[in-house]
Structure 1
Amino acid sequence: MDRNGRRLGRAGAREEERVNSPSPCPLPLGGGEGIAATPSPSERERGGVRVPSDNVDPITLEVVCEGLIAIVREMRATVIRASYSPVIWELDDFSCALTGPTSAG
């Protein structure tokens, strides 16, 4: 419950706040600011590239962002359905990591 006695939804946010929140994809467009035109050294090592912000139209950006958000929501629902841990399905605590045999830490 919040300070006013209203019941909070999952993840501590009231339902109306989650429904009426602005788009979670607030990337700046145009003006050459925001997304860099050249990849950083670490991106070059991984083979990644960045698109100049002048070439990204807002509709495509929003469609891609919303698609990624939908994927995350589906993954979340799948983890909750498949989990055997009450920490995940009751508390929404997804703080975990997948590590390999060479992972440090």
Structure 2
Amino acid sequence: MSSNVGGSGVYEAGDQRNYKQSEVNEADRYKEGKENSHKANDPKDERSIANKLARESKRENEPEPEKDTETMQSKKDATLPARSHGNEPSKGAKIDQELKDEEEAELKKKGKN
């Protein structure tokens, strides 16, 4: 029996590919996986100790990722990121900023800052 529903492309497995053995052998196996698919301290991770050591040595040489500008702004003023986008800050951000201001004022009053 054959179906007359839809085009032939519907029934073809275009996502399934048969690779040549030469292509499989040339693939860079270490970088094949997805980013952050391995957790560094995962006890069930089956990477070899050599691979873990190689990753840690690479990680030591990498510069630390720069903080996002909005993250830096929110540490200074909790309402600043919303205002920089032209929005009114949320009630929680306003309360956070008030608490931060009160704490800073108290610390200045005590002479610790």
Name the TM-score, length of structure 2 as normaliser. Answer: 0.24
Name the TM-score, length of structure 1 as normaliser. Answer: 0.26
Structure scoring higher RCO (CA < 8 A, sep ≥ 6) equals: 1
Structure index of larger Rg: 2
